């Protein structure tokens, strides 16, 4: 046996992330406050960057010292935990309530499932116990509407605390949760045949006045700064623009650039690199803002009925759909949605909260819509229907849902099985 040396050529492809691409990705993920502070830091460190004072408005929240000196009482979690101390709760209820409070989003909504909280607590407490604390403790706390699992629920919690007349609360319930109504106008026309026009008008008016982000008022206004603003016109059309107010505009110092480019000055390699970094940063920030606006504009276009107070229902929308429409990657959309807010007629809303996935592949159905359909079928059933029978009924209407999907969402609204109903 002899050993031979053989030369082989092998060709392969490898995708590598350049340092500039990595920095561009990082910029996309920054919130408005974070990118403002980054710009200010870069201006201090890079002599080629200068702030355009002719167009930029002054800002009082671009200093990192503000983050370090925020008073503790402004946080939503601290405010809610202080209220727990005034309530006569058992040790178990207190533990559950604290975990729920720690799981809330900045806007005050609970956007994780109760079974995830059950898992967080290592199954020490049942979903029934967790839901009991959520509904009877968290939903009773101030600000009104905190702990809701969706926009409809936060509206309904706020209305219940306003001590509305019984008929107005019934009307509001139908406006929000009756699956036969696709928008407020359809509901109004139907409900005026069963209730007085004054009660219907009053209930709808109060629904539109509710705060969709009750938790934001307890975060410092310096922490929540919307990148975009939705402006409705007289025809209820929405236009979306990037908020230039308080956003530092930067440009390249042309005088310094000329000095560096002058060969007689023999500029160092380090200076040339700084000039290149400055040019890149200006382009990257403009691209970041442009991409954020494009994504926000498309979201607002799709959710126009919700944002224009014509409906309390969000349309099914996912990262992938946005990415396909804008011809960018889904991961880019995901990064853009992180910590980005839109100033809407309903207040500041996180862009991410305006997305909701569809539970069906053949028909656009949100989890909320499916739960309302299941609730309605169970309320109207003459004999107890199993999850499979409910699935069959909905599939005849084109939902195309499996039995386990029905079971999953039936449990989410705390409905017992057909055997226990």
Domain range annotation of the chain: 73-208, 228-354, 367-412
Taking the C-alpha atoms of residue 60 and residue 74, their distance in angstroms, rounded to an integer, is: 18
Please name the residues in contact with 55: beta carbons below 8 A apart, sequence gap of 6 or more.
244, 249
Confidence of residue 72 (pLDDT cuts 50, 70, 90): very low
- The pLDDT of residue 59 is 44
| Sheet-wide strand order for 238-242 | 238-242, 228-232, 341-344, 347-350
Share of the chain above pLDDT 70, in %: 90
Q: Could you write out the DSSP letters of every residue in 387-419?
A: HHHHHHHHHTTT----HHHHHHHHHHTTPPPTT
Q: For residue range 116-152, what is the model confidence (pLDDT) as tens digits?
A: 899 889 899 998 999 999 999 999 999 999 999 999 9
Give the pLDDT score at 172. 95
C-beta separation of 182 from 311 below 8 A: yes
Across the chain, which distance is largest between two alpha carbons, in Å? 101
pLDDT over threshold 60, residue 70:
no
Between residues 3 and 189, the one the model is more confident about: 189
What is the tens place of the pLDDT at every residue in 285-295?
Answer: 999 999 999 99
């Amino acid at each position: 046996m002899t050993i031979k040396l053989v030369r082989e050529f092998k060709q392969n492809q490898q995708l590598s992330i350049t340092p500039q691409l990595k920095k561009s990705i990082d910029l996309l993920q920054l919130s408005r406050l974070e990118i403002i502070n980054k710009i200010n830091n870069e201006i201090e460190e890079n002599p080629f960057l200068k702030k355009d004072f002719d167009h930029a408005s002054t800002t009082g929240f671009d200093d990192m010292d503000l983050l370090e000196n925020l008073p503790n009482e402004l946080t939503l979690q601290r405010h809610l935990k202080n209220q727990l101390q005034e309530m006569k709760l058992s040790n178990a209820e207190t533990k559950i309530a604290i975990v729920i409070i720690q799981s809330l989003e900045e806007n005050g909504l609970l956007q994780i499932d109760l079974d995830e909280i059950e898992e967080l607590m290592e199954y020490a407490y049942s979903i029934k116990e967790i839901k009991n604390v959520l509904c009877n403790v968290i939903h009773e706390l101030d600000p009104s509407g905190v702990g809701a699992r969706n926009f409809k629920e936060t509206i309904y919690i706020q209305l219940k605390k306003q001590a509305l007349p019984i008929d107005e609360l019934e009307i509001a319930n139908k406006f929000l949760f009756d699956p036969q109504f696709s928008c407020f106008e359809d509901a109004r026309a139907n409900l005026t045949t069963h209730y007085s026009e004054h009660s219907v008008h009053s209930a709808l008016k109060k629904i539109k006045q509710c705060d969709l982000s009750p938790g934001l008022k307890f975060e410092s206004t310096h922490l929540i700064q919307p990148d975009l603003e939705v402006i409705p016109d007289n025809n209820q059309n929405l236009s979306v623009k990037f908020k230039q107010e308080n956003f530092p505009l930067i440009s390249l110092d042309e005088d310094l650039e000329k000095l560096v480019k002058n060969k007689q000055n023999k500029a160092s390699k380090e200076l040339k690199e700084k000039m290149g970094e400055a040019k890149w940063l200006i382009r990257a920030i403009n691209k970041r803002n442009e991409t954020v606006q494009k994504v926000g504009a498309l979201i607002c276009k799709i959710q126009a009925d919700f944002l224009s107070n014509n409906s309390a229902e969000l349309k099914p929308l996912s990262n992938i759909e946005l990415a396909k429409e804008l011809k960018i990657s889904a991961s880019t959309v995901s990064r853009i949605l992180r910590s980005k807010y839109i100033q809407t007629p309903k207040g500041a809303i996180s862009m991410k909260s305006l997305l909701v996935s569809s539970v069906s592949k053949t028909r656009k159905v949100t989890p909320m819509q499916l739960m309302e359909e299941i609730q309605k079928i169970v309320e109207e059933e003459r004999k107890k229907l199993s999850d499979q029978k409910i699935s069959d009924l909905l599939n005849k209407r084109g939902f195309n849902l499996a039995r386990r999907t029905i079971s999953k969402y039936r449990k989410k609204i705390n409905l017992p099985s057909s055997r226990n109903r």
